Amino acid sequence: VAFSQQLGEAKLKGKIKDQKGKPLELVNISVFGKPGGTISDKQGNYELLIPANTPSLVIFSFIGFEKQEFSINAKRGETLYHNVILSEVTEMLPSIIIQDERVRSTNLQRIDPKGVTVIPSVTGTLESLIKTLPGVASTSELSSQYSVRGGNFDENLVYVNDIEIYRPFLIRSGQQEGLSFLNSDLTSSILFSSGGFDAKYGDKMSSVLDIQYKRPEELAGSLSMSLLGASAHLEGTDRNKKFSHLTGFRYKTNQYILNALETEGDYFPTFLDLQTLLRYQINSRIEISVLGYLASNTFRFIPKTRETSFGTISEVKQLTIYFDGGEMDKYQTMMGAAQLTYKPQKNVQLKFITSTYSSDEKETFDIKGQYYIGKVDTGLGSENFGETVGTIGIGTYLDHARNYLQSNVINIEHKGSYELSNKFFVWGVKYQNEQINDQLKEWNLIDSAGYTLPRPPDQINIENPQVMPLDMDFLTQSITKMNTNRVSGYVQNSWVLNEDSNEFTLTGGIRANYWDYSGDLLISPRISVSYNPNWKHDLLFRFATGYYYQPPFYKELRDFKGNLVPLQDAQKSIHFVAGADWNLTIWNRPFKFTTEAYYKHLDDLIPYEVDNVRIRYYADQKARGYAAGIDMKINGEFVPGIESWASMSIMKTEEDILGDYYFRYYDEDHQLIGIGPEENSDAALNERVEPGFIPRPTDQRFRFSMFFQDYFPTNPTYKMHLALYFGSSLPFGPPKSARYQQILRMPPYRRVDIGFSKQIIGERIYFPKNKPIMKISSLWLSLEVFNLLQVSNTISYVWVTDVTGVKYAVPNYLTPRQLNIKLVAHF
């Protein structure tokens, strides 16, 4: 202290701006090795006390900008002036800096994959970011699946390095799902479109997610560990920069999360995957690359007991189930791809791609549940308040499955591009072979109070009248083999016209698709235009329309009994999308407001129902429908130097199943006595009713999501990340019901996840150069709170029957509030 007083202090003052001359607020200014410091004010001015008569290193740092430092040696009592101009950076971990978020002349959004590192999420996958975008819906934090603008999970295109990625067929719940293909540690670019996308993308009706993996420039890597698993990646090049490697490994176990579910038991989930991308530059014109992927997802479950309360405030019931048996699922996936890129000229690029995808899926379970339904005493003054005081239902059910599926998809593809000054022409052709071997055997049997439900009808002329054949509540049994071929292609051109600083972009293209199984040739024209006028405000207007056919794959052809329904027409969606985005300034900080209104005319639809994440198609039925809505998003620096956003969607989607009807039964007094699929001879009057348009299973009328980041102004190494989701109720119905009966509504989905992180090592924290810790460029420790508000969200229902035959829908709840600790290192 005496030594410090002898040296005294000096004063350093100045102004801090960015490259555009805008003052920067909350810039951190400190002296290396000394405690304390200061920050700049709203005008960018700062004032810092520094030690006198000794060399000092002054450091200026701000999130989203390059750190700047300079040395100074001031005399005691001296006041020095030093103005600073900070330069922006686009790669900053773990903050999300999204620049040019939307590829403005198209219907694509650009997203920074590094956001996966900080967004609090149970899955920890790239899809966690996608779920916060407008038009995107998800009702399970355990799953990486999402629906877009009224579509379902099977209607989304996903590409990695121009190679289409497929999702497993047999997955029925988020807890079984495991890891998605996409690895955020390996990703450099994400483009996403929720509709109106170009002809160069494939044949599905809802969305496209286009991923590009990194091109390593130097040796680097990362390591992440949490209570939910671990991941690591390594990248690098040789000395000549001709050869590069990129490898990622992930391990996930959501055992900790699943142990908090209402069904108690032993959960053993183990999910592993390994990916590698190797590139070699033969010369300036030719490059070859190889992508390999191997995944093993295993889920074993031995249930024990379950207790769930349901009903109304005045009439509470409780379901108690005791289990025997267990479940064993295993999903193994392999993919390999090779790509040759040839550039005969600077403006011409030719790609030749071959890939193979193989999956081996096994789903087996035998689970017996013995249940009883009891009334709960809700009398506030009762001695038995909150206890079960009477039994209104008792029974046993048995679920059995031996489902095995093997699939192989082989692709051979060529893509090309030709660029002129104001034109960009692309084309492609692809051959695809699909092989499916499927063996399904699944049934459900219910025994309520000694009676099998549904009871078999009385029969005559059977071999043993004392032994009646069982009528299963649900039965699927089939053996299927398919070997089909598809050929598809596209051509597309883009024109950019500039006149008086007004920019006009027109993109037009056409796709063709032929499938030998159906013999259909599908032609899909698509066009989009954008206009960026030379106005005072930076506005851009867009419009896109086109045909989006989705030929059936395998699932769409399979009915509820497992039988294939041949000669299915391709589902068709005609998109009309109009939108605008506006770059604006609020609080002297950059923001972007984006909005899109859309209408989708749907035809030749295959109706379906959704249970958790399992989709089952009514393959023998057809429907027509529509989806209409508006999406909005505000994105920008709600907190200086760090990006946050909020999205809101309003949407309605309905379908009319062709040829469906039911009868209303009336007595002689014209009183309704029931409904049914056929005429009732005992009724005085049978009225035939055609339901018309009914809500589709994904009819979520309103959705709001937000991702917000903040930090301590005086110490930005402490940060907060919040993800909020709200989705209005979705339709559902009782089992074995017709589609027109599935118009009940689940409770809305409400969830808040929050994370708190501390930077232990990074650009603002220094260590002596002779220490090995210098090899780590950043190290973050995070505490995450999942489901902060402890909301019990419903994902599906289990249906049970009481002694009078009344069925009750008992909700299956998702995860409660839980904590997670995560450590992320980059080197």
- Is the pLDDT at 99 greater than 60? The verdict is no
pLDDT for residue 714 = 79
Quote the pLDDT of residue 91.
39
Residue 248 has pLDDT above 90, yes or no: yes
CA distance 659 to 639: 56
- Which pair of structure tokens corresponds to residue 447? 């025994």
Q: How far apart are CA 556 and CA 90, in angstroms?
A: 43
pLDDT interval class at 77 (50, 70, 90)? confident
Extents of the domains making up the chain: 2-86, 102-658+691-826
pLDDT of 553 strictly over 80: yes
Position 93 pLDDT exceeds 70? no
Residue 133: pLDDT band with limits 50, 70, 90:
very high
State the amino acid at position 495 in one-letter form.
W
| Per-residue model confidence as pLDDT tens digits over 627-670 | 999 999 999 989 888 889 999 999 999 999 999 999 999 998 88
Radius of gyration of the chain, Cα coordinates, nearest whole angstrom: 30
677 dihedral zone (left: phi>0; alpha: psi -120 to 50; beta): alpha
505 band by pLDDT with thresholds 50, 70 and 90: very high
pLDDT tops 50 at residue 460 = no
3-state helix, strand, coil in the chain (%, to 5): 5, 60, 35
Q: Which residues lie across from 21 on neighbouring strands? A: none
Whether residue 774 is predicted with pLDDT greater than 60 in this model: the reply is no
Q: Which two tokens stand for residue 150?
A: 């009224």
Sort 506 into a burial class: Cβ within 10 Å, 0-12 / 13-18 / 19+: middle
- Which amino acid would we find at residue 15? K
Cis peptide before 94 (omega within 30 of 0): yes
Residue labelled with tokens 């190797």: 278
For every residue of 388-419, which 3-state class applies, written as one string? EEEEEEEEEEEEEEEEEEEEEEEEEEEEEEEE
At 3-61, the pLDDT tens digits run 344 458 889 999 999 887 888 887 888 887 676 678 888 888 999 988 888 888 898 88
Give the SS3 label for residue 273: strand
In the chain, % of residues over pLDDT 70: 92
Rounded CA separation 497/494 (Å)? 10
Decide if 793 contacts 237 (C-beta within 8 A): no
Mean pLDDT of the chain: 88
CATH of domain 102-658+691-826: 2.40.170.20
Once rounded to an integer, what is the mean pLDDT over residues 544-572? 91
- The DSSP line for 352-397 is EEEEEEEEEEEEEEEEEEEEEEEEEP--TT-TTTTSEEEEEEEEEE
For the stretch 578-594, pLDDT in tens is 999 998 888 878 899 99
What CA–CA distance (Å, rounded) separates 429 from 414?
5
The arithmetic mean of pLDDT across residues 272-285, rounded, is: 96
pLDDT tens readout for residues 317-367: 899 999 999 999 999 999 999 999 999 999 999 999 999 999 999 999 999
Topology adopted by domain 2-86: Immunoglobulin-like (2.60.40)
More confident residue, 470 or 607: 607
Structure token pair of residue 559: 């009915």
Average of pLDDT values for 480-501?
A: 92
Q: What are phi and psi of 39, to 5 degrees?
A: -135, 160
- In angstroms, rounded to a whole number, what is the distance separating the alpha carbons of residues 296 and 273? 6
pTM exceeds 0.75, yes or no: yes
Q: What is the dihedral of CA 713, 714, 718, 719, to 10 degrees?
A: 0
Q: For residue 262, what are its two tokens? A: 């209402």
Higher pLDDT, 526 or 799: 526
Straight-line distance from the first to the last Cα atom of the chain, in angstroms, rounded to the nearest whole number? 38
Is 70 exceeded by the pLDDT of residue 611?
A: yes
pLDDT-derived band at 451, boundaries 50, 70, 90: low
Contact 550, 571 (CB under 8 A): yes
Query: At residue 187, does pLDDT exceed 50?
Result: yes
Q: CA 406 to CA 408: how far, in whole Å?
A: 7
